[in-house]
Structure 1
Amino acid sequence: MAEPLRLFVLAGEPSGDRIGADLVQRLRRRTDLTLSGVGGPELEGEGVESLFPMDNLSVMGWSDVLKRLPLLLWRVRQTANAIVRQRPDVVVLIDSQVFVKAVASRVRKAGLRIPILLYVAPSVWAWRPERAAELRPLFDEVLAVLPFEPQAMADLDGPPTSYVGHPALTRFPMRPTQPERGPLLLLPGSREGELRRHLPLMREAATRLQAHPRIDGLVLPTLASLADRLRAEVATWPVAVQVVAGDDRSAAFQSAYAAFAVSGTISLELAMSGVPMVVTYVADPHQAKRAARIGHPVRIALPNIILGREVVPELQFVDPKAQRSMQPLAALLDDRDAVADQVAAFRELRTLMQKGAPEAPLVDPAERVLDHLEHRSFR
């Protein structure tokens, strides 16, 4: 009998935790596993005993990184040392791009030549394209969740890259119809920096739009770990907002009329569900300066990025108190045709995500992991 596959898997935030759990489930259908690494509730539910709390890595923006720099450097050393000591059969590092690159670099410098895969490609097609080539010595393969990324990585001389789809495809079924009325979803993110910068904007949206005739209540879907904190936050707002988590979060997606969401994975999850939305991002000062240096607009909503056109209105670097910040969301609520156009585009997006691009069709992430271990029989 073959020995279990020894997998070291690391996720630094909730979306990565879900991706990691999905990968573990897929691998378990093919082989026995011994797990180690870093994760949150999803990976811990699959049997990972996390080296440290996943939320240690949940930072966004340079101001957040600088505040936690000593802790992050310690966690890099701790993670790399654990990999070198354990010598797993394969390492899968999910998103958290700066952190996982530092971990992979330390492992390679230690001379450990085991397969290391990066799950979720960095956005080299938008920010610092030279990063693609820097990844080649560190990662044996990149598992991309966006269908155009394998070609982008090849064009930029990055590591071999495969399109493996996204768990949102199965976790968030497309709604059969768009409701005539329903809740407005407020989605400020999950990382501390995101919440600090976006909650004031969400409060403004809730206050200005709660009486709109298409809106039947205000709902803030979140993680179970954040629910109490956010209930205390919205209790100080001048309007009633329901905070939901778990199964209630999924139900909110099904009943919502529209959503106001921070950029990131949540915009893809909303699109897969067929929920019309406006996407926003309030940057810290360093990020705003970096965006200004680029000199051209960068899309922030994943549906727009994948389809290559503006399907979803974007609000970048906005003043939370400015009335004009609410105009795109108010306009969406007023325009049934705009709502219908978004839903139609989301169906197109879902088809593309299910198939992949012609040059990079959808493949199973578990198969890609196992293909790096052909000397052993796991199937």
Structure 2
Amino acid sequence: MKKIFLIAGEESGDIHASNMIRQLRKLADFSLYGTGGNRLKELGQEQFFNISDMTIIGFNEVISKLPFILKMFSLLKRKLLEIKPDLVLLVDYPGFNLRFADFAKRNGFKVAYYIAPQVWAWHYSRIYKMRRTIDRLYCILPFEEELFKKEGINAVYVGNPIIDNIKLKIESLESFYEIFGLCKDKRTIGLLPGSRRKEVEGNIEIFYNASYLLKDRFNFIMAQADSVKDEWFGALPEHIKVAKGYNYDIMKYSDILWCCSGTATLEAAYLGTPPIIIYRVPYFTEIIGRYFLRLKRIGLPNIILNKTIFPELINKDFNPESLVRWTKIILDQMDIYNRELSAINNFFVGKDPSLTVAQDLHKNFF
């Protein structure tokens, strides 16, 4: 029986890896080792570390967790040499996984990497290590395959795993309006303030102030991520409804979205609703980011299209007046935005990344 040593270090990695492993189980028998969350554990992974201990956010947390990181790296190297897997499969988590790929390759193991590190955004020098250490790289953004192939990396675009995650609970626009008690004579603005406390608390005040300027003409409904606590919303205006567990329905059935930068902006575009992309960071972080980042744009839909179609309101540009102005512009020119949304959808529709990666792994490593 084949053996796979898989490292996933975050919740999203556990989700994407488990979806793919479930497909691979249909094609081959194998034993599974490494790190992950409950989803991978349920699929039979022998886990040496759980993602609950592995998630690291920001430079400060890297420093505080450095002893744990070193201990984890040491133990996983030892386990790798003991188990001698047929394949080392790394899922996202680039800060750790690219170092582990280097160790695995130097010790003669085959290495596949699912969800290519975003070296096109920053730290491009990593690409040279990737060329030496990765046998097969699975890309989830359409432009990445060509970029990595030009650098001599065996890369393939497989589609984006957001498709696996998007599940609608409401079957129609009419039902959406009825369930949440929205006025049928008004258009709807969906609010996605983020999933972390600092994001939410930093964004909602501007959301609220902008909503007061439009409340007579629009419905407002705010998506509450599972990780978000009610008190983070502060004094919620009466005209804004809040829905927990309906993020994708809000994305789908709203006319426009005020959306914190991240994967949600791409999910919104895939579902056919234009996002106004907002992002707030401390001033010092903004200065550092502008120095190191290799990007002209931060929104994934704009990065994919290679042009700034959907407005990006960052720091001082993120204010109630800009939100209101861009809301009116987009809704007045929906024909233009619908064409761009269709172009984004075409990159992903009909692709099944979990199945594609599983089939490719089976073909190349089994």
CA distance in 1, matches of 2:334, 2:56: 33
Q: What residue number does 1:192 align with?
A: none
Q: What residue number does 1:203 align with?
A: 204
**Match of 1:364, SS?**
helix
1:307 aligns with one of 296, 305, 308: 305
* 2:89 equivalent to 1:88: no
The structure-2 alpha-carbon separation of the partners of 1:237 and 1:13, relative to structure 1 and needing over 3 Å to count, comes to: farther
- Give the deviation of 1:332 after TM superposition: 3.5
Percent of aligned pairs with the same residue? 23
CA distance in 2, matches of 1:299, 1:82: 41
Gaps of 5+ in 1: 190-194
* 2:131 equivalent to 1:136: yes
* 2:159 equivalent to 1:159: no
The structure-2 alpha-carbon separation of the partners of 1:25 and 1:293, relative to structure 1 and needing over 3 Å to count, comes to: same
- Give the deviation of 1:145 after TM superposition: 0.3
Letter in 2 for 1:233: W
- Give the deviation of 1:176 after TM superposition: 8.4
CA distance in 2, matches of 1:269, 1:40: 23
- Give the deviation of 1:120 after TM superposition: 1.4
**Match of 1:146, SS?**
coil
- Give the deviation of 1:72 after TM superposition: 2.7
Alignment length (residue pairs): 348
Q: What residue number does 2:361 align with?
A: 369
**Match of 1:372, SS?**
helix
CA distance in 2, matches of 1:121, 1:295: 17
Q: What residue number does 1:28 align with?
A: 25
- Give the deviation of 1:238 after TM superposition: 4.2
Q: 2:258, 2:276 within 8 Å by CA — same for their partners in 1?
A: yes
CA distance in 2, matches of 1:45, 1:215: 45
Q: CA RMSD in A?
A: 3.3
- Give the deviation of 1:90 after TM superposition: 1.6
CA distance in 1, matches of 2:149, 2:81: 29
CA distance in 1, matches of 2:152, 2:117: 11
The structure-2 alpha-carbon separation of the partners of 1:209 and 1:283, relative to structure 1 and needing over 3 Å to count, comes to: closer
Moved over 6 A (4+): 173-179
TM-score normalised by the chain length of structure 1: 0.79
The structure-2 alpha-carbon separation of the partners of 1:158 and 1:289, relative to structure 1 and needing over 3 Å to count, comes to: farther
2:337 aligns with one of 330, 339, 342: 342
1:353-375 superposed Cα distances (whole Å, 9 cap, x missing partner) = 3479xxxx9992112212332xx
TM-score normalised by the chain length of structure 2: 0.81
Letter in 2 for 1:208: N
Q: 1:183, 1:218 within 8 Å by CA — same for their partners in 2?
A: yes
- Give the deviation of 1:158 after TM superposition: 4.8
- Give the deviation of 1:312 after TM superposition: 1.6
Larger radius of gyration: 2
Q: What residue number does 1:231 align with?
A: 230
CA distance in 1, matches of 2:72, 2:278: 31
Q: What residue number does 1:282 align with?
A: 280
Q: 1:62, 1:286 within 8 Å by CA — same for their partners in 2?
A: no
Q: 1:188, 1:199 within 8 Å by CA — same for their partners in 2?
A: yes
Letter in 1 for 2:219: D
CA distance in 2, matches of 1:187, 1:46: 33
Q: What residue number does 1:62 align with?
A: 59
Gaps of 5+ in 2: 178-185
- Give the deviation of 1:276 after TM superposition: 2.0
Q: What residue number does 1:185 align with?
A: 191
